[in-house]
């Protein structure tokens, strides 16, 4: 496969799959499902090939694909992957077949499946684009299928949730477009050539400190809405609660990571000095999100809404690690993106299974499920403990690195954030106790056990939860050079001192 355009194929393949699905008659939904699964599995195989061929120890972009698109505007089809984006691409490729195989559309399978494949193409495009115009195109493509998935296949309040999601994210996108155009034209005014190329714009920075702050703000608000960071989070619980099961899995596992990835790829890389100067503000918002999300999650009556608010807390940890601006913190933030996608995606799928069996997500209506479905309860407990951050499971690795990395540079933020780990244990263990412990009554007595098909879908994710908790070294080794280079760039532009490893870790 030498010379094969792997990254282009990753984007084009699900787009072709969506076109194939559209061509299949509505009377053959079983063929639609097979085609969609086959395409998404093929994308996963291609992503795993990229992971296998990825050169460890290299900080630069690999598998680069670059072709002139609109020459007079300096726009190109420029794709690349490094240690920062590698595992987010693999996570995306894993979660789409996981979501498609783990849940079914209750109507109009053809349209539902086509939108899912378009969404996959858009998400992969965001993680791979190295041209700002191309990045924005994929950023906007993602918005459309998720809007229709929530509004068309969600629950009772789906229209309200879809509109709220669209309005919030579209507002952020408008601000980012203004920031991209301003950045490009200011650069063109100083250099005489128009380009949207990320690496060129980062290398040939030509704007003052105040201009950089305004440009960073335009990008940061858009990313903060997508994450979402407190207090811009209010669209998330509604979208999660009303979205169909597969939509919730992808929303938690992939879409929220577009914002956190954006901060790394475009915030820190394009505006290193401003990122350093505004780090205390972003760290504070991250810590507030950790504590607020945990407290609000603890009082939720709807199990799905509880997990939605837990995402606000977990994403606060990712922001904390990112703006700690240490190698350990940023690595922790990236691996926590992957871990959150696995754990929370699996939790949403399990909650969807509970709803299909009981037609309710109210915690008060459940209880004693462990007595009648011990295997289901055991799987739920493993995933829940990974979300808590139990040592030996994947969630611990990310949170530990984030806290260590933050403690090196921002001690008091780390101390306050550590209380979020305790609060997470409180609300998740309490929810598990109310849903699975006790004596089953009424409809709960007939709660079905985990089926073989459901177990087969969950098995790869459960294996990764354990593997990443026990042996995260392969992941950390591949991301470390790119992370270290990014952190050194921020340090160099900000003129900060780099503590040595002997002093508590390198920056």
C-alpha span between 291 and 281 (Å, rounded):
16
User: Which pLDDT tens digit goes with each residue over 337-368?
Assistant: 999 999 999 999 999 999 999 888 999 899 89
Q: What is the pLDDT of residue 209?
A: 79
User: Which pLDDT tens digit goes with each residue over 428-439?
Assistant: 999 999 999 988
Residue 484 lies in a domain: yes
Residue 242 lies in a domain: no
Residue 231 lies in a domain: no
Q: Is 413 helix (H, G, I), strand (E, B) or coil?
A: helix
Integer-rounded Cα radius of gyration of the chain: 22
The residue to which tokens 């008060």 are assigned:
364
Q: What is the pLDDT of residue 54?
A: 92
User: Which pLDDT tens digit goes with each residue over 162-203?
Assistant: 999 999 999 999 999 999 999 999 988 888 889 999 999 988
Vertex 473: Cα angle to 470 and 477 (nearest 5) = 165
Residue 417 lies in a domain: yes
- Residue whose C-alpha is closest to residue 405's, from 301, 311, 283, 314: 283
Q: Cα-flanking dihedrals φ and ψ of residue 129, to 5°?
A: -70, 135
- 117 — pLDDT class (breaks 50, 70, 90): very high
- Residue whose C-alpha is closest to residue 304's, from 366, 255, 256, 254: 366
Residue 299 lies in a domain: yes
Whether residue 503 is predicted with pLDDT greater than 70 in this model: the reply is no
Q: The tokens of 333 are what? A: 């933030």
Q: What is the pLDDT of residue 203?
A: 87
Q: What is the pLDDT of residue 121?
A: 95
Residue 32 lies in a domain: no
C-alpha span between 279 and 261 (Å, rounded):
16
Burial class (CB in 10 A: 0-12, 13-18, 19+), 213: middle
Q: What is the pLDDT of residue 496?
A: 66
Q: What is the pLDDT of residue 500?
A: 38
Q: What is the mean pLDDT of residues 20-27?
A: 89
C-alpha span between 507 and 501 (Å, rounded):
8
Query: 283-299 burial by CB neighbour count: b if 16+ within 10 A, else e?
Result: bbbbbbbbbbbbebbbe
Higher pLDDT, 135 or 59: 135
Whether residue 20 is predicted with pLDDT greater than 80 in this model: the reply is yes
Vertex 36: Cα angle to 34 and 37 (nearest 5) = 65
Q: What is the pLDDT of residue 26?
A: 84
Within 10 A of 111 (CB to CB), how many other CB atoms are there?
Answer: 18
C-alpha span between 319 and 333 (Å, rounded):
7
Q: Residue 418 belongs to what H/E stretch?
A: helix 411-436
What integer best gives the mean pLDDT of the chain?
90
C-alpha span between 1 and 52 (Å, rounded):
13
Whether residue 376 is predicted with pLDDT greater than 90 in this model: the reply is yes
C-alpha span between 354 and 303 (Å, rounded):
10
Q: Cα-flanking dihedrals φ and ψ of residue 77, to 5°?
A: -85, 90
What is the domain range of residue 375? 285-507
Q: How many residues make up the chain in this entry?
A: 507
Q: Cα-flanking dihedrals φ and ψ of residue 271, to 5°?
A: -130, 65
Residue 86 lies in a domain: no
Q: What is the pLDDT of residue 442?
A: 86
Residues 6+ apart with CB under 8 A from 374: 449
In this structure, the dihedral spanned by the alpha carbons of residues 477, 483, 484 and 487, taken in order and rounded to 10 degrees, is -160
Q: The tokens of 247 are what? A: 């939509």
Point out which residues pair with 250 in neighbouring strands. Answer: none
Q: The tokens of 145 are what? A: 């299928």
Query: 367-380 burial by CB neighbour count: b if 16+ within 10 A, else e?
Result: bbbbbebeebbebb
Whether residue 2 is predicted with pLDDT greater than 70 in this model: the reply is no
Residues 6+ apart with CB under 8 A from 71: none
- 105 — pLDDT class (breaks 50, 70, 90): confident
- Residue whose C-alpha is closest to residue 353's, from 462, 424, 457, 439: 457
Domains contained in the chain, number: 1
Whether residue 111 is predicted with pLDDT greater than 70 in this model: the reply is yes
Q: What is the pLDDT of residue 156?
A: 85
User: Which pLDDT tens digit goes with each residue over 381-428?
Assistant: 999 999 998 999 998 999 999 999 999 988 999 999 998 888 888 999
User: Which pLDDT tens digit goes with each residue over 263-300?
Assistant: 999 989 999 999 999 999 999 999 999 999 999 999 99
Q: What is the pLDDT of residue 1?
A: 46
Q: What is the pLDDT of residue 502?
A: 34
User: Which pLDDT tens digit goes with each residue over 61-89?
Assistant: 999 999 999 888 889 999 999 999 999 99
Residue 252 lies in a domain: no
Higher pLDDT, 498 or 316: 316
Q: What is the pLDDT of residue 129?
A: 95
């Amino acid at each position: 496969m030498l010379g094969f355009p792997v990254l282009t194929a990753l984007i084009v393949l699900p787009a072709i799959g969506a076109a194939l699905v559209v061509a299949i008659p509505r009377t053959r939904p079983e063929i639609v499902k097979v085609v969609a699964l086959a395409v998404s599995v093929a994308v996963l195989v291609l992503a795993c090939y990229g992971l296998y061929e990825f050169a460890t120890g290299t900080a630069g972009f690999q598998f680069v694909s670059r072709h002139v698109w609109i020459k007079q505007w300096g726009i190109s089809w420029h794709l690349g992957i490094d240690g920062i984006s590698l595992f987010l691409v693999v996570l995306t490729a894993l979660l789409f077949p996981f979501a498609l195989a783990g849940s079914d559309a209750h109507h109009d399978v053809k349209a539902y499946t086509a939108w899912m494949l378009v969404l996959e193409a858009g998400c992969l495009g965001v993680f791979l684009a190295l041209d700002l115009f191309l990045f924005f195109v994929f950023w906007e493509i993602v918005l459309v299928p998720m809007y229709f998935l929530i509004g068309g296949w969600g629950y009772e309040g789906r229209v309200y949730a879809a509109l709220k999601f669209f309005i919030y994210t579209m507002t952020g996108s408008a601000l980012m477009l203004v920031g991209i155009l301003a950045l490009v034209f200011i650069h063109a005014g100083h250099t005489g050539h128009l380009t949207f190329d990320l690496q060129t714009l980062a290398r040939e920075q030509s704007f003052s400190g105040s201009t950089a702050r305004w440009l960073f703000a335009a990008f940061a608000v858009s990313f903060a809405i997508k994450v979402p960071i407190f207090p811009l989070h209010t669209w998330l619980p509604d979208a999660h609660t009303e979205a169909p099961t597969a939509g919730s899995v992808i929303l938690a596992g992939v879409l929220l990571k577009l914002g956190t990835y954006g901060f790394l790829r475009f915030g820190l890389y394009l505006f290193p000095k401003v990122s350093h100067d505004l780090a205390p503000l972003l760290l504070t918002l991250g810590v507030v999100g950790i504590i607020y999300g945990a407290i609000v999650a603890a009082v939720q009556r709807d199990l799905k809404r509880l997990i939605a608010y837990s995402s606000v807390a977990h994403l606060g940890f990712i922001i904390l690690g990112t703006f700690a601006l240490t190698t350990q913190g940023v690595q922790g933030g990236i691996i926590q993106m992957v871990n959150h996608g696995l754990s929370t995606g699996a939790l949403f799928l399990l909650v969807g299974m509970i709803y299909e069996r009981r037609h309710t997500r109210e915690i008060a209506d459940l209880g004693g499920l462990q007595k009648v479905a011990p295997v289901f309860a055991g799987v739920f407990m493993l995933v829940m403990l990974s979300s808590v951050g139990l040592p030996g499971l994947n969630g611990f690795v990310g949170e530990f690195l984030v806290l260590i990395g933050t403690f090196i540079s921002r001690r008091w933020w780390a101390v306050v954030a550590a209380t979020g780990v305790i609060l997470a244990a409180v609300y998740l263990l309490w929810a598990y106790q109310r849903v699975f412990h006790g004596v089953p009554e009424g409809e709960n007595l007939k709660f079905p056990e985990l089926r073989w098909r459901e177990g087969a879908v969950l098995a790869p994710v459960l294996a990764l939860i354990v593997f990443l908790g026990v042996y995260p070294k392969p992941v950390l080794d591949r991301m470390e050079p790119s992370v270290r280079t990014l952190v050194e760039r921020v340090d160099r532009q900000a003129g900060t001192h780099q503590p040595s490893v002997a002093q508590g870790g390198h920056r």
